Structure 1
Amino acid sequence: MLRAEGLSKRFGGLKAVQDVSFTHHQGEILAVIGPNGAGKTTLLNLLSGVYRPSAGRLHLMGRDVTALPMEARCHAGLGRAFQIVRPFPEMTVHENVTVGALFGKPGQRLPEARERAWALLDRTGLAAHADKAAHELTLLQDKRLEVARALATNPSVLLLDEVMAGLRPGEAQEAVALVRGVRESGVSVLFIEHIMPVVRDLADRVVVMDQGQVLAQGTYREVTADPRVVSAYLGTEEGLHA
């Protein structure tokens, strides 16, 4: 679904991402982990088109999208949910998701967009809150709305940036179930996360970053057994359960 080849990003003399390569397969949930400052969010910005790479190429479903802006990548099937949720606060929950449906497919008519929004509110557990203003939602509901808006763009690949951040353990498990449901609907998922039990429970494979580079790739068991990963990120065995 995604193939990154030597992606790099410089900000002046700072090498934020250096020569990152990986493959994201159809139907896969791929996690990107690493310490703060490892370059994870910069990588997501490169994938989604917020930044243009200083070097490297990105292919989406076999198509070179390196030069495409963010909206064109969205129309090509790449969706993103952000860590900091910023819905249109005075619009209703249903209206927020309808906007996503209208944006994601050029030429989409309003009745069809509204219908798609209703279906996604059902899927994400927000149907009962459809007529609420977005600013009335709880944090967990905000996270669900962010995912629903991203899914409304009809992506083949969904990028999630720390959607579990700030959630209580029970809420995080609800969010895990939501992400699994996204995969079951046919959408491949790439996510950034710091909560290692969530990574363990969700990820088919894991990419570990450190200082802007890929440190290790493999299954959860493989990367957490790698001494380089333990040293750079986990620190101790207890880090696996943090």
Structure 2
Amino acid sequence: MTAVGVQPSAVGRGDVVLRADGLSKRFGGLLAVQNVSFSQYDGEILAVIGPNGAGKTTLLNLLSGVYRPSSGRLHLLGRDVTQEPMEARCHAGLGRAFQIVRPFPEMTVHENVTVGALFGTRGTTLGQARERAYDLLERTGLAAHADKEAHELTLLQDKRLEVARALATQPRVLLLDEVMAGLRPGEAQEAVGLVRSVRDSGVSVLFIEHIMPVVRDLADRVVVMDQGQVLAEGTYHEVTANPQVVAAYLGTEEGLHA
């Protein structure tokens, strides 16, 4: 298993697009994330897994700018964004889709994605945003629902809308927070196909997930967290064979199929 290290920040196929160096976050006396370092490469799907309370969502909030780190640095596409707010990171190429989907319920599906397109790129006209939104609805399988109000969608369609809104900002790196949560097995497989298509379009993906078959099917590499720290990093087969990971998270062989 390879150790997590600091990589060059040049951008290109196989180069680093997102780099965390010693990120920590303290809430009063609680150290929720402690000295987390990893690199994500261009075109890579990277999974972050671990038990409840491991610090995964806090880490995602540090990456996206919801929280500022207590210490450490974050580089996006070679640029230090450690102290930059969420909107600046979005404009710099970082998108995020949330586990709890909150579209504008009385707006149409197309209008929801248009808002994302207007927000994500400076200088985008309304006409350009609408055109980009239609293209993304085609790519995410929502074109037939473009004129529906968002509250009419199913859970799977909601998840697709959340991804489409994030993609409308034209990210180079997309953060996904348990987007498979609540989906039936067949729906989860559809969502796996959607994430793969996002990567194939040139967007690197970092995702948090508890469903291990999804991690197995999607992830090029896996970062395992426990008690706010990186416990292990490697391929799916490397980390699931690591005794520390089994003890801290998977528990038994059955845990791999949960």
Coarse TM-score class (shorter-chain normalised) = over 0.9
Q: 1:105 aligns with which of 109, 114, 121?
A: 121
The aligned counterpart of 2:102 is 86
How far is the alpha carbon of 1:106 from its aligned partner? 1.5
Whether 1:14 and 2:38 are equivalent positions in the alignment is no
Q: Distance in 2 between matches of 1:81 and 1:226?
A: 30
Give the one of 117, 129, 139 matched to 2:155. 139
RMSD between superposed Cα atoms in Å? 0.3
**Offset, 1:107:** 1.8
> What secondary structure sits across from 2:54 in the alignment?
coil
CA distance in 2: counterparts of 1:55 and 1:188, whole angstroms: 25
The residue correspondences of 1:158-173 to structure 2 (distance < 5 A) are: 158-173=174-189
Q: Which runs of 4+ in 1 moved over 3 A?
A: none
Query: TM-score by structure 2 length?
Result: 0.94
Show the counterpart of 2:6. Answer: none
Q: 1:209 deviation in Å?
A: 0.2
Instruction: Please state how far the C-alpha of 1:219 moved relative to its aligned partner.
Output: 0.2
| Aligned length in residues | 242
Give the corresponding residue for 1:128.
144
Name the TM-score, length of structure 1 as normaliser.
1.00
Percent identity of the aligned residues? 87
In structure 1, C-alpha distance between the alignment counterparts of 2:146 and 2:198, rounded to whole Å: 20
Equivalent position of 2:222 in the other structure: 206
The letter of the residue matching 1:43 is L
Q: Alpha-carbon deviation of 1:56?
A: 0.1
Structure 2: how far apart are the matches of 1:49 and 1:219? 27
Structure 1 counterpart of 2:14: none
Q: CA deviation at 1:50?
A: 0.3
- 1:113 is displaced (CA, Å) by 0.2
Summarize deviations over 1:167-205 as a string: whole Å, max 9, x none.
000000000000000000000000000000000000000
Secondary structure at the counterpart of residue 57 of structure 2: helix
Secondary structure of 1:84's counterpart equals coil
* Match among 58, 71, 82 for residue 55 of structure 1: 71
Distance in structure 2 (CA, Å) of the matches to 1:136 and 1:80: 23
Q: Distance in 2 between matches of 1:54 and 1:106?
A: 30
Residue ranges of structure 2 left out of the alignment (5+ in a row): 1-16
